Amino acid sequence: MNSVKIKGEVIFVDEVKEFGANNFRKQTVVINTGDDRWDNPIPVEFKKDHIEKSSALKEGQQVEIEGCVDGREWTGNDGVKKWFVNVSGLDVNYLSDSPTADTAPATAAEEQPDHEVEDTSPTADDDDEIPF
């Protein structure tokens, strides 16, 4: 088993889904691990008993997810082999309970520019001469 830690902001929390006669359950959570310039969304699947670890996740929270990377091979009807990688969530460490400052709405003071623009439009006192 290959262990992995994924640290970032929760950007999507899917509902818990059940499959098959055995009621196999899974929940997909997407964590953005990118920076201000590039997004890097990583889907993480919480399965079976590990769903309880993801049940309190909300969009905007900063988290670190401990998990494992699973790979599998699949051969299609056309005989072509394909490989898939999946990240399975095992535990969640909450780094914040509320949305990050980047996703929180800006206040009126933050929306004001940090510089002043001087009005240089002509006034009635200016000469009416054209400079060319």
For 48-93, the pLDDT digits (tens) are 889 999 989 999 999 999 999 999 999 999 999 999 999 999 999 9
How many Cβ atoms from other residues are within 10 Å of residue 26's Cβ?
A: 18
Q: What is d(CA 84, CA 125) in angstroms, rounded to the nearest whole number?
A: 74
17 φ/ψ angles, rounded to the nearest 5 degrees: -115, 145
Asked if residue 46 lies in contact with residue 26, where contact means CB atoms within 8 angstroms, the answer is: yes
Q: What is the pLDDT of residues 80-132, one digit of tens each?
A: 999 999 999 999 999 976 655 444 444 444 444 444 444 444 555 555 555 54
- The structure's pTM equals 0.69
Asked if residue 11 lies in contact with residue 59, where contact means CB atoms within 8 angstroms, the answer is: yes
Q: Which amino acid is at 129?
A: E
